[in-house]
Amino acid sequence: MIEWVIFMILPDVNISSSGARHTPANEETPVTENAGSPAGLLALVQSLNNAFAASLDLDTTLETGVREIKEHLHAEAASLFLIDIDTEENVCQACSGPVDIFGMRLPSGEGIIGRTLRERAPLIVDNVSADQHFSRRVDEATGFKTLSLLCAPMIIQGVAIGVLEVVNKLGGRPFSEQDRMTLSALAATTAMAVHNARQASDLVDKEAVVKASKAKTDFVSSLSHELRAPLNTVLGFAQLLESDPLVEAHPHLSLSIGQIRKGGKHLLFLVDEILDLAKIEAGKLKVHISEIVAYDAMEECLGMIGEMARERGISVHNKIGEGEAPIFLADAVRFKQVILNLLTNAIKYNVAGGKVIVSCAQTGHGMLRFSVADNGSGIPSRLQQAVFQPFTRLSEDAAKIEGTGIGLSISQKLVDLMNGVIGFESENGVGSTFWVDFPLAHEEEQDSGEHRPAASGDGDVWGLKPDGD
C-alpha cells in the first residue's frame, strides 16, 4: 500500500516566492470583513472535525473540506496534495475551483509548495509573477491564471506532512494576516485528521490481515486433510496392485503402477508441506528439543537422498568425521526435514554431473553450523532477497523441477522455532551454500575450530554407489 503524506494547495500548485510575505504572528494587519470572524473560524473547524470523525471516506471528506476552506477565505480555488512516499511527488488528492487537477503530480520541492515545506512557515504571495519560486506547471496544464496565493504547512508530531493552500483572493485583494492565521489553524486541524485516519486505517488493515491469515490457515488445514484421505487410498490400492500376480507378469503394468505410486507420494509430500506451513503460521506446530549427534543425524539424511542423487548423476560428499562431530540441540524430526530440504534442493538445482558437499563447523558463538554446498547455477543477486518467501521459485528451470517453492520458507520457520539460524551464500553461475546453525549441547564443546573431515580423504561419496549408502 502506498503511504501518502499530505498537503493542500490551490488548483494552481505553481507557486513563487519573490513576492512572498512571511507574516509573523505579532504583525498588526487589519482584519477585513471578508476574512471571516473568529466565530466563523471556530464553526468551520468544528464542522471539519465532526466531518472527519463521522466519515470513513477520507477522500470525500477532504474534498468537502477543501471547498469549505475556499469559501470561508473567499478564494477562487483551493486544493489538497499528498506526497507519494515512494516517488516523493506531490499528488493532488482534493481540489475546488474552476479547474480540476485531481491526480496531478508535481516534482518534490517545486514551487511555493516546496518552499513552504522546507521553511515550515506560512507564506503569502501577493503577486506570483514576481516570485522566482513560482511554478507555472499547473497554469500551463489547465489554462488557469494564478495571481496570488496563501500556503500553510501541515505539521503533525513535529513532521511537516503537507501544505494547505488557497489561490486568488476574490475581488483582487491581497490575503491578510487574519487569512494566514485562519489557514494555519485549518492546516493543523486537517493534519491531525489525516494522521488519525491513517492510524485507524492501519489498525483496520492489521485486523483484516489477522482475520485473513486465520481464514487462510483454516482453509489450508481443512483442504490438506481432505486431500490426504483420497491420496492414501490411491497409494494403498497401488501397493495392492503391485503385489497382484497378474501385474507382476506384465512389466509394463508394474511400471505404470510404479508411476502412480511415485506421483501419489509426491502429492502427499506437497500436502504435508502446505499443512506444515499452515500449522507454523497458526502457531500450532510444536518442537521437541533434544540432544543430537551431528554425524549420526547427517548420515541418516544422506542415506535418504542417495537414490535421488544417483538418478541425477550428482555426487554427494560427506565431510563430517564420524565420532568427531559434537552434540547439538534441535528437534530430531524437524532437523531432518530442514537438512533434507537443503540436500534435495542442492541436487535438483544442480548441473549435470554436479557435486554436493556437506560439512559442519563450530562458529565460535556456541553454535554448530551445517553447510550444504553445490556447484549448480547459483541465484542471481537481484533475486536473493526472495529466497525464503513462500511459493517462490527462482530458478529459470523451476517449471521443469518438482516442488511448491515453500520448502525454504518452512525450513526458515522451523529453524527459528529450534532457536537456530539459517542463511546462504550464492554466486550466479558458480553455485550456492546454504547453512543452518544450532546451539551446541555442552559448554565444553564451544570452541571455534572446524571439525576434521572423514579420514577417507575426499569424504564419503553419496549418489554414485549402486547400493545407496
- List per-block mean pLDDT (blocks of 10 residues) for the chain, which spans 469 residues: 36 39 40 52 72 64 84 90 79 87 86 87 92 90 93 80 89 90 82 71 61 65 65 73 76 79 73 74 83 90 89 90 79 91 91 91 89 90 82 57 75 93 90 94 52 36 34
User: Residue with C-alpha cell 553455485?
Assistant: 431
Mind listing the domains of the chain with CATH numbers? 4-204 (3.30.450.40), 213-282 (1.10.287), 290-462 (3.30.565.10)
For residues 393 and 414, give the distance between their C-alpha atoms in angstroms, rounded to a whole number.
Answer: 19
Of all helices (H) and strands (E), which one includes residue 242? helix 177-242
Angle (nearest 5°) at CA 355 between 351 and 359: 140
pLDDT at 104: 85
Q: Residue 276: name the closest of 405, 407, 401, 402 by CA.
A: 407
- 315-318 and 355-362 strand pairing: parallel
- The counts of H helices and E strands in the chain are 10, 16
Bridge-partner residues for 315, per DSSP?
Answer: 355
pLDDT at 92: 81
How would you class 221 by CB atoms within 10 Å of its CB: exposed for 0-12, middle for 13-18, buried for 19 or more? middle
User: Residue with C-alpha cell 493534519?
Assistant: 191
pLDDT at 456: 32
> At 268, is the secondary structure helix, strand, or coil?
helix
pLDDT at 459: 37
In this structure, the number of other CB atoms found within 10 A of the CB of residue 61 comes to 21
pLDDT at 451: 40
Angle (nearest 5°) at CA 312 between 308 and 313: 115
Q: Return the half-sphere exposure (C-beta side, CA atoms, 13 A cut-off) of residue 464.
A: 11
Q: What is 175-241 written as a DSSP string?
A: P-HHHHHHHHHHHHHHHHHHHHHHHHHHHHHHHHHHHHHHHHHHHHHHHHHHHHHHHHHHHHHHHHH
pLDDT at 379: 86
Which contacts qualify for 97-103: CB closer than 8 Å, 24 or more apart? 97/10, 97/11, 97/70, 97/144, 97/167, 98/11, 98/144, 99/11, 99/142, 99/143, 99/144, 100/11, 101/11, 101/13, 101/138, 101/141, 101/142
Q: Residue 126: name the closest of 13, 21, 8, 12 by CA.
A: 21
Of all helices (H) and strands (E), which one includes residue 289? none
Ramachandran quadrant class, 120 (left: phi over 0; alpha: psi -120 to 50; beta: rest): left
